[in-house]
């Protein structure tokens, strides 16, 4: 029987970040990552929109996001292997939320909350918005909330960078499903995964949208549900003279620039049913085009390059689960980020590494304990898309 100091279920950006930070902090024992899909064809981090922002309205989320933005600024150098830089390609083009008459009051409250917890955010008038996005229709917009330090990266490059760096540090990857978990006296004692039995007293669930199944194997509740998020890559109708920030329209449609004179577009659908649905609507752009054309008339004539779907790992309050499970000592949760996993991955890795090494994390994340759902103390942060 093999043994490991830590077994992490899920080899996406969260799992790899935890392993990386363990190694960087000097964790002396072996670290094993169990990944069910080594191709990452269905990995949420690979299929993500790629936005990276610090605009949150609670201290814990804001501090985690700020830590992550700082990390992504140096990501390509930090994740270099054998002198070859990674390709996360973080672009600090900013995040621009647009406020109209319906959401202006709530956005004003959000702005004050964000400023109170130290977020770098500006309340911008129409003239500034037009400098950020020339040609944008702001006739129905009262103001914007702009995060000048925010931006976006390449999800595929981020995932590849984390994985390559983690492997270079001696972390072992096991390809296959988590088959069973050995629990003795209510504590984690080992796992069976990929046809192997591994003794361990520390098991981390970083399985994203598939986390509920991990809980079932351990015998506890991990209240995370998979929900489809569709995305579109569209070719711009003419050579574009500038790169967009991430723009969030009041309708929820949001977009950013992409390589090859294109944009990536998404919209979270609140009526989307739960389920592991990776199908995408090839005509998705047609449903989003009227909003895009209204907001930026020059976007008329977009052409679909590709459509795809990934899974959000949703919790009831749309915030993540962090920390040791109160009913199962040795089981640590790092999941349920509800569409914000990639942007929170660096900070999450650092926090979990501290917990696994019995050290205090850089921020108190007790409010994100899974126990909040049993006690009814849900965690609310207004700054969600």
Cα separation of 35 and 44, whole Å? 13
Say yes or no to pLDDT of 1 above 70: no
Domain boundaries 226-312, corresponding CATH code: 3.30.9.10
384 falls in which pLDDT band (50, 70, 90)? confident
Task: Look at residue 383 in the predicted model and tell me its pLDDT.
Answer: 73
The label of the residue with tokens 């967009």 reads 244
* CA dist., res. 212 & res. 152, Å (int): 29
- pLDDT at position 382, please? 81
Taking only the tens place, the pLDDT of each residue in 241-287 is 999 999 999 999 999 999 999 999 999 998 999 999 999 999 999 99
For residue 327, pLDDT beyond 70 = yes
Question: Packing angle between helix 59-73 and helix 341-356, nearest 10 degrees?
Answer: 100
**For residue range 203-238, what is the model confidence (pLDDT) as tens digits?**
999 999 999 999 999 999 999 999 999 999 999 999
Answer whether residue 167 shows pLDDT above 80: yes
Query: Is residue 349's pLDDT more than 70?
Result: yes
Can you tell me the distance from the alpha carbon of 206 to that of 338, in angstroms, rounded to the nearest whole number? 13
pLDDT reported for residue 84: 97
Please report the pLDDT score of residue 107 as a whole number. Answer: 97
Render the burial of 356-374: b for 16+ CB within 10 Å, e for the rest: bbeeebebebebbbbebbe
pTM, entire model: 0.97
Mean pLDDT of the chain: 97
Which whole number is the average pLDDT over 8-28? 98
Side-chain-side CA neighbours of 368 within 13 Å: the count stands at 27
Residue 150 pLDDT level (bands cut at 50, 70, 90)? very high
Q: Where are the domains of the chain?
A: 2-80+155-224+316-375, 95-148, 226-312
pLDDT digits (tens, 9 = 90+) for 304-315: 999 999 999 999
- Which residues lie below 8 Å from residue 286, measured CB to CB, with a gap of 6+? none
Q: What is the mean pLDDT of residues 24-35?
A: 98
Is a pLDDT exceeding 90 seen at residue 385? Answer: no
CATH 3.50.50.60 for domain 2-80+155-224+316-375: yes
Q: Residues of the chain with pLDDT > 90: what percent?
A: 97
Q: Which residues on neighbouring strands pair with residue 51, listed in sequence order?
A: 152
pLDDT digits (tens, 9 = 90+) for 45-88: 999 999 999 999 999 999 999 999 999 999 999 999 999 999 99
Tell me whether the CATH fold assigned to 2-80+155-224+316-375 matches the one assigned to 226-312.
Answer: no
User: Are 196 and 22 in contact, with CB atoms under 8 Å apart?
Assistant: no
């Amino acid at each position: 029987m093999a043994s490991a100091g830590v077994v992490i279920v899920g080899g996406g950006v969260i799992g790899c970040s935890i392993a990386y930070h363990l190694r960087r902090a000097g964790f002396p024992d072996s670290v094993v990552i169990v990944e069910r899909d080594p191709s990452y064809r269905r990995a949420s981090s690979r299929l993500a929109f790629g936005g990276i922002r610090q605009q949150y309205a609670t201290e814990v989320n804001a501090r985690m996001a700020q830590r992550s933005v700082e990390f992504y600024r140096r990501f390509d150098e930090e994740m270099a292997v054998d002198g070859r830089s990674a390709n996360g390609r973080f672009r600090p083009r900013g995040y621009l939320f647009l406020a109209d008459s319906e959401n202006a009051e709530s956005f004003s409250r959000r702005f004050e909350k964000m400023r109170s917890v130290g977020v770098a955010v500006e309340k911008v008038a129409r003239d500034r918005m037009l400098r950020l996005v020339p040609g944008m229709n702001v006739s129905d917009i009262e103001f914007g909330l702009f995060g000048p330090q925010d931006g976006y990266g390449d999800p595929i490059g981020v995932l590849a960078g984390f994985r390559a760096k983690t492997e270079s540090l001696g972390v072992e990857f096991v390809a296959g499903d988590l088959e069973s978990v050995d629990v003795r006296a209510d504590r984690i004692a080992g796992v069976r995964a990929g046809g192997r039995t591994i003794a361990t007293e520390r098991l981390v669930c970083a399985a994203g949208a598939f986390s509920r199944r991990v809980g079932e194997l351990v015998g506890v509740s991990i209240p995370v549900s998979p929900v489809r998020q569709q995305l579109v890559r569209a070719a711009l109708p003419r050579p574009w003279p500038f790169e967009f920030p991430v723009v969030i329209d009041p309708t929820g449609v949001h977009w950013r620039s992409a390589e090859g004179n294109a944009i990536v577009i998404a919209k979270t659908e609140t009526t989307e049913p739960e389920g592991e649905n990776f199908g995408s609507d090839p005509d998705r752009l047609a449903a989003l085009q009227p909003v895009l054309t209204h907001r930026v008339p020059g976007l008329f004539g977009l052409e679909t390059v590709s459509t795809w779907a990934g899974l959000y790992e949703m919790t009831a309050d749309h915030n993540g689960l962090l920390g040791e499970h109160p009913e199962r000592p040795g089981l640590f949760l790092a999941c349920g980020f509800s569409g914000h996993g990639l942007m929170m991955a660096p900070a999450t890795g650092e926090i979990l590494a501290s917990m696994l090494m019995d050290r205090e994390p850089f921020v108190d994340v007790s409010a994100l304990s899974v126990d909040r759902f049993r006690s009814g103390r849900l965690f609310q942060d207004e700054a969600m898309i």
